[in-house]
Amino acid sequence: MASITSKFGLPLRQTIRHCTSQMKYDGPVEKCMNSVQILGRVGQDPITRGENDNFVTFSMATSKTYAKKNMTGETDYNTRTQWHNITVFRPFLIERVQKQISKGTRVMVQGAIEYVDYTKPDGNRVLMTRIVPDDIFILSGTDHDAQTH
Convert the pLDDT of each residue in 120-143 to its tens digit.
Answer: 999 999 999 999 999 999 998 765
Cα–Cα distance between 86 and 89 in angstroms, integer? 10
Model pLDDT for residues 2-39, shown as the tens digit of each residue? 555 444 454 444 444 445 555 666 777 788 999 999 99
Predicted pLDDT of residue 12: 45
Domain spans of the chain? 36-140
Identify whether the C-beta of residue 131 lies closer than 8 Å to the C-beta of residue 87.
yes
Length of the chain: 149
pLDDT of residue 91: 95
Please tell me the pTM assigned to this model: 0.72
Give pLDDT, residue 131. Answer: 98
Q: Which of 85, 84, 83, 89 is nearest to 135 (CA)?
A: 89
Per the CATH hierarchy, to which homologous superfamily does domain 36-140 belong? Answer: Nucleic acid-binding proteins (2.40.50.140)
Q: Are 111 and 131 in contact (CB under 8 A)?
A: yes
List pLDDT tens digits, range 82-120.
Answer: 999 999 999 999 999 999 999 999 999 999 999 999 899
pLDDT tens across 42-62, in order?
Answer: 999 999 998 888 999 999 999
Rounded to an integer, what distance in angstroms lies between the CA atom of residue 37 and that of residue 103?
19
